[in-house]
Copies of this chain bind each other. A is one copy, B any other.
Amino acid sequence: MVKKQSATLVGQVDPEVLAYTAGRDVILDRELIEADCLGTAAHVVMLGRLRLKPPLLTVAEAAQVVAALRQLVTAARAGQFQIELADQDVHLAIERALTAQLGELGKRVHTGRSRNDQVALALRLWAKMQLTAVVREQADLAGVLLKLARRTARWVMVGRTHMQPAMPSSLGLWAGAHAESLMDDLGGLLQVYDLNDQSPLGAAAGYGVPLPLNRELVSNLLGFGRPPGNVLYAVTARGKIEAALLMALTQTMLSVSRLAADLVLFSMPEFGYVLWPRTLGTGSSIMPQKNNPDVCELARAKAARVCGELNTVLGVVRGLPGGYQRDVQETKEPVMRGMAETRATLRVLTRVLPDLTFDRAALARGFTPAVFATDAALERVAGGMPFREAYQQVKEQLATVGAGNPEDALAARVSRGAPGNLALEDLTARLSAARAWVRDEERALGKALRGWWGPYEPARALPLSS
């Protein structure tokens, strides 16, 4: 019977057409089960509070639906809720399940909704929870780097430009630079969090419905921070928000890819800066001696992948004429995959980095006199010679430049942010702020839900891994 109900929507659709249009949603939508249950619950609670005669739903009926949805979430976590091809997607699967359990009442839950606003809501709720998770994980990786920076602030190493030896530097400067890059990237994530923090429910297919739906109430029940806006934009923003989210993740992955690229280089025996434990490296099927930094290579490649996912979304969205179009369905997998790859990469690097051994002696090698050429020129400048002349003189007499003392050279670089003055307290404060933000937002969401849904704890798993 349930299937028959659901089948009324799928109707007599050609099986090839159904497979093409719905196919992968059956897998991807597992990711959205909880968000869709919460959204549906908030919607019926709101319906229940509308004072219409006859009521669309009574308060008691709404509570019944909410209870059923709570059970459904539990069932889903236990792997006992399936989305079938005939359902097309999570939305009809849930409506089917509710109708199977609650009968006629189940047929009322879609009142005033379209799948267009429903999926938009599920995606925004999903993104809201994922974003706090990724911010936490990114802060964790930044924290590892910051700790490394503190510990190695005085470990000298040759700074490079164009991969060639440039000037005296330190491992601490290197670690601090990567930490700051990740901290800066948090700004983008927070901006997307804000952009995303808006309930589309009540938009229906993008044109509202002739019912006095209380969009603000639904928004509040679900803990959204911004008031609901234009109903057409609420629907057409799908894809655009996915693009924004992938942009922020891309920035994170760009930072990570550069960290990874450095680590691959540092692990080459010609440098020997980093010793890679066997348990964290990967062997070869043919070469018995191998212990490769595959984690870093994959991190680098997954950055390319997240860029690719972003590109897909940009391509889908660009030039799309107004109103909902099915094209945006193809933004779902990219954003989920992009989130999953970014979070997995942040986690694995946070796992690996503290266990790598940085070889202080190896880092100290390679301080040829040429590395001190700029210092030599600036010594002449300190004596009064114009810089360009000093530069020219040293250039012509390069062979006579003597080796300097790397520690002294560090110590002389006293400007804010320079090797002798890393100013890490700033990053430490920003890290604390980021972590406080995560706590506050998660608490706010918990609080919003507690009053009517009960305690809700987002699942900790990576997306697409359940």
Contacts and interface: CB of A to CB of B under 8 A. Distances in A.
Closest 8 CB pairs of A and B: A308-B312, A304-B315, A208-B418, A210-B412, A107-B386, A162-B292, A107-B388, A288-B395
Interface in A224-276: 227-234, 236-237, 240, 243-244, 247, 250-251, 253-255, 257-258, 260-262, 264-265, 267-271
29 contacts: A8-B388, A9-B283, A11-B283, A16-B347, A17-B352, A91-B285, A107-B386, A110-B391, A111-B387, A161-B206, A163-B323, A166-B287, A166-B323, A169-B207, A177-B322, A207-B413, A214-B415, A215-B416, A227-B426, A231-B415, A236-B258, A244-B251, A254-B314, A261-B320, A288-B392, A288-B398, A289-B373, A300-B327, A303-B319
A422 interface: yes
Nearest to A263: B321
Interface string A326-343: 111110001000000000
Interface size class of A (residues with CB under 8 A): 35 or more
A56 B8 contact: no
Contacts of A79: none
Nearest to A117: B286
Contacts of A302: 330
A223 to B, nearest CB: 17
A213 B176 contact: no
A246 to B, nearest CB: 9
B210 A292 contact: no
A254 B240 contact: yes
Contacts of A108: 386-388
B323 A297 contact: no
A164 interface: yes
Contacts of A416: 202, 215-216, 227-229
A458 interface: no
B205 A287 contact: yes
Contact of A270 (B105, B366, B376, B383): B366
A316 to B, nearest CB: 5
A16 B422 CA distance: 32
B9 A370 contact: no
B56 A205 contact: no
A443 interface: no
B312 A330 contact: no
Contacts of A92: 285
A230 B417 contact: yes
B321 A261 contact: yes
Contacts of A330: 298, 301-302, 304-305
Interface stretch (A67-75, A121-129, A181-189, A446-454): A181-189
Contacts of A148: none
Nearest to A159: B207
